[in-house]
Amino acid sequence: MSHVVTEACINCKYTECVDACPADCFYEGPNMLVIDPQACVDCGMCVSACPVDAIVPENRVPADQLEFIAFNASMSGTLWPSIVKSKARMPDADHWAKIPQKRHVLTPPSVGPGVDLGSSNDTGR
Ligand code: F3S
């Protein structure tokens, strides 16, 4: 089992999770991080480090977030670069932290092989 970064991370990227991880299993996209399920040691240290509760154990991913299991797997390792040290959050992170449905602003959208994250009409503003 692994841990999974879900929709709450989008446009936030607080990156506290990265410093908490003992296995360097995070990968960074333009506006979201993912976890490499092959590298995750399932310690759970990142869960409490995330201020927006974006990280959950794979067996507790909510029904409306299940697509992110495949998305984490497909984007980590090859498509997105590794991140091993925290950095500044995204400029509007505190605004986006209050918006639950924001997969439509994921960059790039739904590019993982065989992964369809769907969309919503929430503009986030
Ligand atoms: Fe994202 Fe939370 Fe890490 S917002 S970058 S999963 S600390």
Q: 70 in a domain, yes or no?
A: yes
Q: 124 in a domain, yes or no?
A: no
Q: Which domain holds residue 27?
A: 3-105
* Distance from residue 114's CA to the centre of ligand 1 (Å): 24
Separation of alpha carbons 58 and 66, rounded Å: 9
Q: 117 in a domain, yes or no?
A: no
Residues 6+ apart with CB under 8 A from 26: 5, 17, 18, 33, 34, 35, 36, 46, 76, 82, 83, 84
Could you give the 3-state DSSP secondary structure of residue 111? Answer: coil
Question: Would the CB of 13 count as within 6 Å of ligand 1?
Answer: yes
* Distance from residue 15's CA to the centre of ligand 1 (Å): 5
What pLDDT score does 113 carry?
A: 53
**CA neighbor of 120 nearest in space, from 75, 79, 67, 69:** 67
Residue 10 has pLDDT above 90, yes or no: yes
Instruction: Give how many domains the chain has, as a whole number.
Output: 1
Question: Would the CB of 27 count as within 6 Å of ligand 1?
Answer: no
* Average pLDDT of every residue of the chain: 90
Q: 111 in a domain, yes or no?
A: no
pTM: 0.90
- E strands present in 49-90: 55-57
Q: 114 in a domain, yes or no?
A: no
Q: 116 in a domain, yes or no?
A: no
Question: Would the CB of 5 count as within 6 Å of ligand 1?
Answer: yes
Separation of alpha carbons 19 and 101, rounded Å: 26
In tens, the pLDDT along 100-118 reads 999 999 987 655 555 667 6
DSSP 8-state secondary structure symbol assigned to residue 5: E
82 contacts 27 by C-beta, under 8 angstroms:
yes
**Domain containing residue 43: CATH number:** 3.30.70.20
Q: 62 in a domain, yes or no?
A: yes
Separation of alpha carbons 29 and 40, rounded Å: 18
* Distance from residue 33's CA to the centre of ligand 1 (Å): 7
For ligand 1, pick from 6, 17, 19, 99 the residue to mutate: most ligand atoms within 8 Å of CB.
Answer: 17
* Distance from residue 113's CA to the centre of ligand 1 (Å): 23
In tens, the pLDDT along 86-102 reads 999 999 999 999 999 99
